[in-house]
């Protein structure tokens, strides 16, 4: 009998998503851990959640499905979300035991917690992860893993320093359609890849709004976290993706999924492109809009071997895709439908298995759990996540400076001093560790 | 030359000096009053000018002065915030006096540090250090954090003093900052704090110590780093500190950590915190006999660590590692056996078939048998492995055959089909039934190689094999078996074959009802054309009724005139007409009128 949050969550669908589970030497089956198919309490991985908003609620069922996960605590800067998250977890377990912490640092101080899901707004991802690593917790963190290149590098160093197991929420690495596309490229089915093209959707504009009092139940100071203080403006807070200090725009937020795929397929997980350029950027009108990030645009990069990457920010939400283009064909994954198309179409006949689409992160979580037990790096470990994020981060800087930038992926430095100074933003105290 | 050209070009692009200054004044005056809700245009104009001034020292200086003017006491906070954001990118020593004033106020210390952190001049550090004595509470921690990020050796002394503060937040920030400074004095200061062992500061000190050890490794002083890490490896330290220290040691050990890992795993008892982290490194170790050495250590470990070591050896995948893993499929602990079987299935080929078949025959629980079956199903080697399993199957006792046939059905392919068809004629009813079930699983998988094998078999010389093959084809997933079944439907050897083929064809057609199209209608047309009896037609009409397509009506309507199937035809016409009446109202109405 599944409780509240898992109602309507199909077991068959979930298991279909976990096709890799049986093949990989990952999790010891429940039957060998405890009695009657359950998991012995001492073998459970105890989780807490930091930032339990819309994204967390979407992914939480994927976590709760695993019998070897015990969710014991939640934290959020908003009282309404905190209360509803506790209610949700308690309903799942049929208890009142989930602890609710307005301050995530108290959650991190709980010794029984092994790992955390970080699903805050983007401004918090890297810093909350570093707080967690300092506290000895393993981490599943939603993407983008950071907002600046410097922050990402510090995250990598911090996790390495404490031996933290970290999984970035770029779960398409664990999604069957994307795995198939990669396999076909690696098998040379489209010849030599020369371009990796992707598309994210165009963003709207946010009109100017005056500051208002902070709503009751919000810890706005904590909500802002490392970002330099600004007055509470509802339109800005609710559309934080469209502002430089809290979101960095859609090519960053969604684009990092695609740069992660590109890096994976090209085998460049520990390095990256050498050149960045942006064109056709349409900015919001500052006279009428307070939003800052690009509405549409083309974000390009080039690797040392000449392979090009491009992210188009245009069209509608449903139009997002990634396409690998080679000298003998192409293969594309449509994110909205999870449909794979290719030229030559015969490539599609080679697909032997299907799985759940990206919205089921079961395999990705399974990989994290396995890594926590074995202490071996997860598939989207900090270096992998940082390198993927670096690409969109560098594109952002190129766009903001309106210039082509050269990048040394070994030293992680641009050929331009202003660009280098944009790689890090000093966090606001006390939201720094 | 290029620079001169660039400067000239920039000068042409920018407004004339007087116009530029005037434009700047206008933007600054408007930006100084900026608050949320108002137009951000002056801010964006200033940003544009900053971008365009790159390479023009004079314009850049004027713009920096303009940004500094936005830090005056009479500007809004949001104007100051904007100015600091851009001084962080474009600022120089010239803006230090204006920023100094902001360091004194709690409201603005954050944005001042935001700008100062990235200012390249050492004087920015001097300014921050000078502000420390008067700063209190949050501003003090902010300045300390920024000094840590600037990581200047000159900050060690003032930071060291702050580590004695009663305010734990200040002391921890100071320790954190010291850890970030790559200087002997900073490491010495942290070492002294380590010796003092104040519990309230323990995590900060340990983290700073790890930072210091990393600096020593980077500087090539492995011995000093190792000595420092030894202190952090003590089991009085927190687990993540110990794991971090071990990781650093392993990364910096000349042998990649081989001896250290062997020592750790050879200890009695094994350290539960460090063992997993040590084993995680095993796949990366280089050298002859490494796998063999860990194979010797394996039996000494607790089962949970044995599992991890088997997985690590599986990642190494060399001959020694595989030999070790093979020995563990009969281990006493079920977790170890499971890990070994999983690894064997992923790594081995036909050479492991006999070993696994023996394990399968001796499995004591259904779970264990399933593990072995999965391993057999996963073996590499394609058809060669299939043949080896087929050979074992032929020799096996009747009771051991069903699980082996399950394995073959999972593997699929031509050889599996051939072996299963042979077993389907076994005199032992249990074996024959298991073979049929295994073939049904293959049918459900839709494996194209297996389909080809069945298509050959259904036209072969052995009548029993032909019948079993046909039965399997009737259950085939998708439409791939249609043509074969349709051929038999039209030209069967006997009525039974006709009936079987029709059953399979009707099932395939029915599956297509969810997306009715011209191809589906064509299939129904083919079925009706080949129908021999009213019973055939009844069966077809029952399924045709679910095809919501106007051409389905065209097929069903003439059958209203066939007395033996009129009732079924009426029902079909009614259902189809109702299904299409929204999209094709005229056709539906006309059909319903004929009932």
Q: What is the pLDDT of residues A281-317, one digit of tens each?
A: 999 999 999 999 999 999 999 999 999 999 999 999 9
Residue A201 has pLDDT above 90, yes or no: yes
pLDDT tens, position by position, B402-438: 999 999 999 988 999 999 999 999 999 999 999 999 9
Contacts of A114 in chain B (CB under 8 A): none
From B379, which residue of chain A is nearest by alpha-carbon distance? A23
Residue numbers in A near B51 (CB within 8 A): 401-403
* A:B CB pairs within 8 Å: 157
For the record, the structure tokens of A233 come out as 């403006």
**β-bridge pairing A166-168 and A329-334:** unpaired
A223/A227 Cα distance (integer angstroms) = 9
Q: Nearest residue on chain B to A424, judged by CA atoms?
A: B118
Test A373 with B276 for CB contact under 8 angstroms. Answer: yes
Residues of A in contact with B307 (CB under 8 A): 28
DSSP 8-state class, residue B302 = -
- Which residues of B fall within a CB distance of 8 Å from A160? 244, 247
Task: Write down the pLDDT at residue A16.
Answer: 39
Per-residue pLDDT tens over the stretch A260-270? 999 999 999 99
3-state helix, strand, coil in chain B (%, to 5): 75, 0, 25
C-alpha–C-alpha distance, residues B443 and B473, integer Å:
7
Q: Report helix, strand or coil for B253.
A: coil
In our burial notation (b when 16+ CB lie closer than 10 A, e otherwise), range B221-231 reads ebebbbebbeb
Beta strands in A303-408 (DSSP E): 308-313, 321-326, 329-334, 340-343, 405-408
Provide the 3-class DSSP secondary structure of residue A115.
Answer: strand
CA A390-A395-A399 angle, 5° bins: 150
Query: A164: nearest CA in chain B?
Result: B240
Which of A24, A30, A32, A377 is the mutation pick for testing B, counting most B CBs within 10 A?
A32
pLDDT beneath 50: ranges in chain B = 1-3, 6-7, 10-12
Q: What is the mean pLDDT of residues A159-178?
A: 96
Strands A340-343 and A308-313: unpaired
**Residue B592: burial class (beta carbons within 10 Å; 0-12, 13-18, 19+):** middle
Local structure of residue A78 (DSSP, 8 states): B
- B76/chain A closest Cα distance in angstroms: 11
Whole-number pLDDT of residue B188: 97
Token readout for B504 is 């399979």
Report d(CA B258, CA B287) in Å as an integer: 9
Q: How many CB atoms lie within 10 A of CB B585?
A: 11
Q: Could you read off the pLDDT of B172-195 as tens digits, one per residue?
A: 999 999 999 999 999 999 999 999
CB atoms B40 and A133 under 8 Å: no
Per the CB < 8 A criterion, the answer to whether B342 and B375 are in contact is: yes
Asked if B310 reaches chain A (Cβ–Cβ under 8 Å), the answer is: yes
Packing angle, helices B109-117 and B137-150, rounded to 10: 10
**Residue ranges of the domains in chain A?**
4-173, 177-355+382-421
**Beta A329-334 vs A321-326: how paired, if at all?**
antiparallel
Q: Which is nearest to B190 in space by CA: B219, B232, B236?
A: B232
Q: How far is A17 from chain B (nearest CA, A)?
A: 17
Contacts of B192 (CB under 8 A, 6+ apart): none
Q: How many CA atoms lie within 13 A of B571 on its CB side?
A: 13
Chain centroid, CA B593 distance in Å: 59
Task: Write out the E strands in A104-211.
Answer: 115-118, 138-141, 166-168, 193-200
On the question of pLDDT at A3 being above 60, the answer is no
Note the pLDDT of residue A28.
Answer: 40
Q: For residue B16, what pLDDT is reported? A: 58
Alpha-carbon torsion (A180, A186, A191, A196), positive or negative: positive
Crossing angle between the packed helical segments B96-103 and B122-131, to the nearest 10 degrees? 30
Alpha carbons A63 and A89: distance in angstroms, whole number: 11
Q: In what order do the strands lie in the sheet with A405-408?
A: A340-343, A329-334, A321-326, A193-200, A308-313, A296-302, A275-282, A405-408, A413-414
Interface check A375 vs B, CB under 8 A = yes
Q: Distance (Å, rounded) from C-alpha B559 to C-alpha B368?
A: 57
Q: Please state the domain extents for chain B.
A: 489-595
Superfamily per CATH, domain A4-173? NAD(P)-binding Rossmann-like Domain (3.40.50.720)
User: Using CA atoms, how far apart are residues A131 and A163, in angstroms rounded to an integer?
Assistant: 14
- Joined together, the tokens standing for residue B459 give 């036209």
Identify the closest residue of chain A to B149 by CA–CA distance.
Answer: A426
Q: Would you say residue A372 has pLDDT above 80?
A: yes
> For the residues of B126-166, what is the DSSP string, one character each?
HHHHHHTTT--HHHHHHHHHHHHHHT-GGGHHHHHHHTT-S
User: Which of A266-270, A342-346, A404-408, B145-149 has the least mean pLDDT?
Assistant: A342-346
What class is the A177-355+382-421 domain?
alpha beta
Q: How many CA atoms lie within 13 A of B49 on its CB side?
A: 31
A1 pLDDT more than 60? no
Is the pLDDT at A36 greater than 70, yes or no? no
pLDDT, tens only, A145-159: 999 999 999 999 999
* Residues A162, B339: C-beta atoms closer than 8 Å: no
Rounded to whole angstroms, how far apart are CA atoms B111 and B589?
75
* B276: contact with A, CB 8 A cutoff: yes
Res A42: pLDDT: 73
In contact, B549 and B517? CB cutoff 8 Å: yes
DSSP for B326-380 reads HHGGG-SSHHHHHHHHHHHHHH--GGGHHHHHHHHHH--SHHHHHHHHHHHHH-S
Residue A26 has pLDDT above 70, yes or no: no
A4-173 and A177-355+382-421 agree in CATH topology = no
Q: Which one-letter DSSP state was computed for residue A147?
A: S
What pLDDT score does A18 carry?
40
Partners of A79 in the beta sheet? Answer: none
Closest to A420 in 3D by CA, of B298, B538, B118: B118
Does the beta-carbon distance from A430 to B141 stay under 8 Å?
A: yes
Report chain A residues whose CB lies below 8 A from the CB of B273.
Answer: none
User: How far apart, in Å, are the Cα atoms of B284 and each of A94, A380, A410, B197?
Assistant: 45, 18, 22, 36
Choose, out of A227, A294, A371, A426, the residue to mutate when testing the contact with B (most B CBs < 10 Å). Answer: A426
C-beta atoms surrounding A347 within 10 Å = 21
Closest CA of chain B from A289, distance in Å: 8
Which residue among B176, B280, B339 sits closest to A375, beta carbon to beta carbon?
B280
pLDDT at A5: 46
Tokens of B137: 């509470």
**In the numeric block, which tokens belong to residue B76?**
């809004």
**CA-based nearest residue to A389, from A197, A88, A154:** A154
Note the pLDDT of residue A31.
Answer: 37
Question: What is the C-alpha separation between B528 and B519, in angstroms, rounded?
Answer: 14
Q: Which of B63, B76, B110 to mutate to test the interface with A (most CBs of A within 10 A)?
A: B110
ipTM of the complex: 0.91
Name the β-bridge partners of A218: A78
H or E element at residue A414: strand A413-414
Per-residue confidence at A386, pLDDT binned at 50, 70, 90? very high
Helices (H) and strands (E) in chain A, counts: 16, 15
Q: How far is CA A61 from CA A88, A97, A222, A367, in A?
A: 10, 18, 26, 16
- Which residue, among B500, B497, B569, B511, has the nearest Cα to B538 in the 3D structure? B569
**Residue B13 sits at the chain A interface (C-beta within 8 Å):** no
| pLDDT the model gives residue A38 | 62
Of B243, B335, B374, the CB nearest to A162: B243
How many Cα atoms within 13 Å fall on the side-chain side of residue B118? Answer: 23
């Amino acid at each position: 009998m599944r409780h509240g949050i898992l109602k309507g969550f199909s077991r068959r669908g979930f298991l279909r998503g976990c096709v890799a589970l049986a093949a990989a030497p990952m999790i010891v089956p429940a039957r060998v851990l405890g009695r009657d198919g359950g998991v012995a309490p001492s073998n459970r991985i105890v989780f807490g959640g930091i930032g339990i908003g819309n994204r967390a609620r979407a992914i939480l069922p994927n976590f709760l499905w695993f019998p070897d996960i015990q969710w014991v605590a939640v934290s959020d800067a908003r009282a309404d979300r905190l209360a509803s998250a506790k209610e949700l977890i308690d309903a799942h377990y049929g208890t009142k035991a989930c602890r609710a912490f307005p301050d995530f640092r108290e959650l991190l101080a709980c010794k029984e917690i092994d790992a955390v899901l970080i699903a805050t707004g983007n401004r918090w991802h890297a810093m909350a992860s570093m707080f967690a690593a300092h506290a000895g917790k393993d981490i599943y963190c939603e993407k983008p893993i950071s907002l600046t290149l410097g922050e990402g590098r510090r995250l990598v160093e911090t996790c390495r320093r404490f031996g933290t197991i970290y999984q970035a929420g770029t779960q398409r690495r664990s999604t069957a359609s994307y795995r198939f596309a990669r396999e076909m490229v690696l098998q040379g089915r489209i010849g030599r890849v020369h371009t990796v093209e992707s598309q994210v959707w165009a963003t709207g504009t946010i009109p100017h709004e005056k500051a208002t009092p902070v709503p009751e139940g919000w810890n706005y100071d904590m909500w802002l976290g490392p970002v330099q203080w600004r007055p509470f403006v509802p339109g800005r807070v609710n559309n934080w993706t469209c502002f430089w200090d809290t979101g960095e725009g859609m090519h960053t937020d969604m684009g990092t999924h695609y740069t992660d795929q590109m890096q994976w397929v090209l085998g460049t997980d520990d390095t990256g492109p050498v050149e960045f350029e942006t064109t056709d950027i349409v900015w919001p009108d500052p006279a009428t809009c307070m939003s800052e990030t690009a509405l549409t645009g083309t974000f390009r990069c080039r690797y040392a071997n000449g392979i090009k990457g491009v992210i188009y920010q245009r069209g509608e939400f449903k139009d997002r895709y990634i396409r690998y283009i080679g000298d003998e064909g192409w293969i594309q994954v449509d994110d909205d439908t999870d449909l794979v198309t290719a030229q030559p179409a015969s490539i599609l006949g080679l697909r032997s298995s299907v799985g759940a689409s990206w919205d089921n992160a079961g395999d990705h979580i399974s990989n994290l759990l396995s890594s926590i037990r074995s202490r071996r790096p997860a598939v989207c470990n900090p270096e992998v996540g940082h390198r993927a994020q670096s690409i969109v981060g560098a594109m952002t800087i190129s766009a903001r400076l309106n210039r082509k930038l050269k990048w040394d992926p070994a030293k992680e430095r641009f050929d331009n001093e202003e660009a280098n100074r944009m790689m890090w933003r000093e966090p606001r105290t006390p939201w720094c560790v | 030359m290029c620079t001169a050209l660039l400067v000239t070009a920039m000068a042409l692009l920018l407004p004339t000096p007087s116009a530029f200054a005037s434009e700047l004044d206008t933007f600054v005056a408007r930006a100084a009053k900026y608050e949320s809700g108002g137009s951000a245009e002056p801010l964006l104009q200033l940003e544009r000018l900053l971008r365009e001034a790159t390479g023009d020292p004079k314009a850049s200086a004027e713009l920096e002065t303009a940004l500094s003017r936005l830090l005056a006491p009479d500007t809004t906070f949001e104007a100051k915030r904007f100015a600091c954001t851009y001084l962080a990118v474009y600022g120089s020593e010239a803006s230090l006096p204006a920023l100094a004033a902001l360091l004194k106020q709690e409201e603005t210390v954050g944005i001042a540090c935001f700008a100062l952190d990235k200012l390249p001049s050492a004087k920015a550090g001097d300014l921050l250090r000078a502000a420390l004595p008067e700063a209190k509470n949050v501003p003090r921690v902010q300045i300390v954090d920024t000094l840590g990020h600037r990581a200047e050796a000159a900050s060690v002394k003032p930071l060291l003093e702050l580590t004695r503060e009663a305010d734990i937040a200040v002391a921890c920030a100071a320790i954190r900052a010291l850890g970030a400074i790559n200087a002997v004095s900073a490491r010495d200061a942290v070492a002294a704090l380590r010796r003092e062992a104040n519990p309230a500061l323990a995590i900060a000190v340990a983290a700073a110590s790890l930072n210091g050890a990393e600096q020593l490794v980077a500087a090539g002083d492995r011995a000093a780093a190792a000595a420092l890490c030894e202190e952090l490896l003590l089991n009085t330290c927190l687990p993540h500190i110990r794991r971090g220290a071990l990781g650093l040691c392993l990364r910096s050990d000349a042998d990649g950590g081989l001896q250290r890992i062997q020592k750790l795993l050879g200890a009695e008892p094994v350290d539960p915190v460090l063992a997993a982290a040590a084993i995680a490194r095993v796949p990366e170790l280089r050298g002859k006999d490494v796998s063999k050495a860990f194979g010797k250590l394996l039996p000494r470990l607790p089962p949970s660590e044995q599992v991890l070591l088997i997985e690590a050896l599986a990642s190494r995948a060399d001959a020694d590692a595989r030999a070790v893993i093979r020995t563990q499929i009969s281990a006493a602990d079920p977790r170890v056996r499971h890990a070994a079987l999983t690894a064997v299935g992923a790594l081995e080929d036909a050479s492991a078939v006999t070993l696994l078949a023996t394990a399968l025959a001796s499995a004591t629980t259904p779970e264990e048998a399933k593990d072995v079956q999965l391993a057999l199903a996963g073996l590499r080697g394609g058809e060669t492995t299939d043949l080896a399993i087929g050979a074992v199957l032929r020799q096996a006792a009747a009771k051991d055959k069903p699980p082996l046939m399950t394995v073959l059905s999972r593997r699929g392919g031509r050889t599996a089909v051939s072996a299963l068809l042979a077993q389907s004629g076994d005199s032992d009813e249990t074996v024959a039934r298991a073979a049929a079930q295994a073939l049904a699983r293959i049918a459900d998988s839709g494996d194209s190689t297996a389909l080809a094998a069945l298509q050959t078999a259904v036209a072969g010389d052995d009548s029993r094999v032909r019948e079993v093959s046909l039965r399997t084809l009737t259950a085939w997933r998708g439409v791939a078996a249609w043509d074969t079944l349709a051929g038999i439907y039209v030209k069967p050897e006997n009525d039974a074959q006709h009936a079987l083929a029709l059953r399979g064809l009707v099932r395939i057609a029915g599956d297509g009802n969810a997306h009715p199209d011209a191809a589906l209608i064509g299939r129904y047309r083919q079925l009706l054309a080949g129908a021999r009896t009213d019973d055939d037609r009844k069966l077809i009409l029952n399924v045709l009724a679910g095809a919501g397509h106007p051409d389905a009506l065209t097929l069903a309507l003439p059958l209203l005139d066939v007395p033996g199937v009129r009732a079924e035809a009426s029902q079909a016409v009614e259902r189809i007409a109702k299904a299409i009446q929204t999209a094709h109202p005229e056709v539906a109405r006309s059909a319903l009128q004929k009932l």
